[in-house]
Every structure is written in C-alpha cells, then in structure tokens.
C-alpha cells in the first residue's frame, strides 16, 4: 500500500515528536518534509539524519521543495498567530491542513469523541493537549447526564512546554474552554493550565470536574471507562488515577458558580487522569506531547482512508 506524504511545519517539541511517530508507527502516512525557521533546531537536524527533506525557510521553503506537489497533508505545529497565514496559503495550494495550534480556524477534532464528524473539512483543529486529555471525559459524562459546567485543570512538566506552548497560554485556555462546550457538550466550560517546574519532571496530570443533572452513578462510571478505552487505542499511556468521584449537591446547600450566573444543584462528577508519553522524542513525562501528536496522526490516517487516498488496513 502506498503511503500519503505529509509535511510538518514546526520543528519544535510537538513537530519532532509527530515526525518520529509518523516514521515509526504509521502504515498510512510517510514524511515528505520537516519545516522550521531555525537552521540549528534539533528537529531539523534529526529529520536530516533520518533522510527527511528539510527547510529552515518556513512555509515558503516548503513550497519551494521539489516534492511539495506530492504532499497532501500538512500539520501545523507552530503558533496560533502564524497559523492563519499558513492556512490561507496551504488552502490555496489545495492542501489538507491539520492544525496543532490553538488557532481553531477549523472544527475541533478529538478522535475518541468526534473523529468522523469533520473529515470533510479542509482544516481540522486538534484543540490543545489539555483538551485532548480531558474533553473525552466531559463528553462521557454528558452522554449520560447533561453537563452544565465543565472545568478542567491540565498540569504539565515545564520541560515539556516549548516556546510555542508558552507563547499560546491565553489561546490554550480560551480554545480549550470553547471546545469543552462545543465537543464535550457542556453548557459552560473553563480551562486552566499549570506548567510545573518540579524536578524530576512530573508526568502530565489532568483533573475534570463536571456539574450535571442527577443520574445513575454506575452509568457514568461505565461511560467514563468506555471512553478511557477509546482514547487508549491511540494513546496507550492514558489512564485514570482513581475511581470516578461523586458528590450530590442538594437544595439546602446549592453551589454558586459565578460564570454560570446561578446556583447549582445536582451531581458533581470528578475524574482524575494521568497521561504517560510513549517517549518517542521527549521522556515519558511529556504525555501532553504524546496525546496531541497521537491524536493528530490518528486523524490524518482516518481522513486519508475516508477519502480513499489509501485503502483501510
């Protein structure tokens, strides 16, 4: 089976991890180019050693590569600000774009939740690492009982957050909160990211709190467990740290959430997660990279099969 050539714009942590995943794991995709703007970056050096065509001249350098015409899918792992221009140019060239920045030009895509919903879009957005980890849990609760408030806290090791991540903190929180609503199904969403400087670096941890209507707790436990298995199909290091926690909030002591603008009574559901990376580029503590790049690769593979660019394995 012939593979689909892809390019990655962004030779930092995320782009380099994605490149290694494509080369090691994918039966559908193959590397066509690695693109950066720093000629001395480790990502470009690794790509060159691996025989991947490279350029340090950004998007225009990619467009000038001899094999650019053969590349069907371009992953953008740069920044939200740069992505708007990249997308305009790539769309005009007829390329499929998979956006790993928080730009959110295309529809939010989380493989375990809605991978088939957006496969006709020419630009799909992978939300954020925190979104990829936590929104499946919001969706799992919401398919049992309506989630009125979804709040997530993503804690990642400082060493796994490159300059692109650090430059996009505001976009991270805004995009993730919006996706909690759009994909997770919550009426209102909130997202917080913590860069933890602890040494040795700590593995990615995520906390999800949902305020929903009263429902059968066993049904919610089963829905959450099923969703965990779905995510584990492409992120084996994704797991729960403890059992789902429940708290009944009654009329005598309602909970007031300022962002909701009202008092809440019902069921509080808390899910605690850990994401261990596959250590393809950074060590295993960088689960935030692993879940983002794994989701992007899964989406590209599914899209290629859906459009009959390749045959299903």
Q: Tens digits of per-residue pLDDT, 95-154?
A: 999 999 999 999 999 999 999 999 999 999 999 999 999 999 999 999 999 999 999 999
Residue 10 has pLDDT above 70, yes or no: yes
Place of tokens 């080369």: 23
Residue 210 and residue 144 in contact, taking contact as beta carbons nearer than 8 Å: no
Distance (Å, whole) CA 49 – CA 44: 9
Distance of CA 29 to the CA centre of its chain: 19
pLDDT band for 165, please (50, 70, 90 cuts).
confident
Catalytic sites, residue numbers: 129
Distance (Å, whole) CA 246 – CA 211: 10
* Tens of pLDDT, residues 20-29: 999 999 999 9
Structural domains in the chain, CATH included, are 4-126+291-306 (3.40.50.720), 129-285 (3.30.360.10)
* Tens of pLDDT, residues 61-83: 999 999 999 999 999 999 999 99
* Tens of pLDDT, residues 249-306: 998 899 998 988 899 999 999 999 999 999 999 899 999 999 999 999 999 999 999 9
pLDDT band for 162, please (50, 70, 90 cuts).
confident
Structure confidence at residue 1 (pLDDT): 66
Average pLDDT over residues 175-182: 97
More confident of the two residues 94 and 161: 94
Structure confidence at residue 151 (pLDDT): 98
Kindly state the tokens that stand for 272: 């605690």
Distance (Å, whole) CA 214 – CA 246: 10
Closest CA to 259 of 211, 188, 176, 175: 188
Q: Give 123's Cβ-side CA count (13 Å radius).
A: 22
Structure confidence at residue 164 (pLDDT): 76
Residue 35 and residue 7 in contact, taking contact as beta carbons nearer than 8 Å: yes
Closest CA to 308 of 28, 22, 18: 28
Cα four-point dihedral sign 72, 74, 75, 80: negative
Cα four-point dihedral sign 254, 255, 260, 262: positive
* Cα dist from 147 to 37, 142, 186, 249, 259, whole Å: 43, 5, 5, 14, 14
Structure confidence at residue 163 (pLDDT): 80
> Helices 217-232 and 129-142, interaxial angle, to 10°?
140
């Amino acid at each position: 089976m012939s593979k689909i050539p892809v390019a990655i714009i962004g030779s930092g942590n995320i782009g380099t991890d994605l490149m290694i995943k494509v080369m090691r794991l994918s039966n559908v995709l193959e590397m066509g180019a690695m693109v950066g703007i720093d000629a001395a970056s480790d990502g470009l050096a690794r790509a060159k050693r691996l025989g991947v065509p490279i350029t340090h001249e950004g998007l225009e350098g990619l467009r000038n590569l001899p094999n650019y015409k053969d590349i069907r899918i371009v992953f953008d792992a740069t920044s939200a600000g740069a992505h708007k221009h990249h997308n305009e140019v790539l769309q005009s060239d007829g390329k499929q774009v998979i956006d790993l920045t928080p730009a959110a030009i295309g529809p939010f895509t989380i493989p375990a939740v809605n991978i088939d919903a957006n496969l006709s879009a020419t630009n799909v957005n992978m939300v954020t690492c925190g979104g990829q980890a936590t929104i499946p849990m919001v969706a799992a609760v919401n398919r049992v009982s309506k989630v009125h408030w979804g709040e997530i806290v993503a804690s990642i090791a400082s060493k796994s957050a490159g300059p692109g991540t650090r430059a996009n903190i505001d976009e991270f929180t805004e995009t993730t909160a919006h996706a909690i609503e759009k994909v997770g199904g919550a009426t209102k969403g909130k997202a917080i990211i913590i860069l933890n400087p602890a040494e040795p670096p700590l593995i990615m941890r995520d906390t999800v709190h949902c305020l929903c209507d009263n429902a059968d707790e066993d049904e919610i436990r089963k829905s959450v467990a099923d969703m965990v298995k779905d995510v584990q199909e492409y992120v084996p290091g994704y797991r729960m740290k403890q059992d789902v926690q429940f708290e009944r909030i009654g009329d005598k002591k309602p909970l007031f959430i300022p962002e909701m603008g009202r008092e809440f009574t019902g069921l509080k559901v808390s899910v605690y997660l850990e994401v261990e990376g596959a250590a393809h580029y950074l060590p295993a503590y960088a689960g935030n990279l692993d879940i983002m790049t794994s989701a992007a690769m899964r989406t590209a593979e599914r899209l290629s099969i859906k459009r009959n660019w390749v045959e299903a394995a």
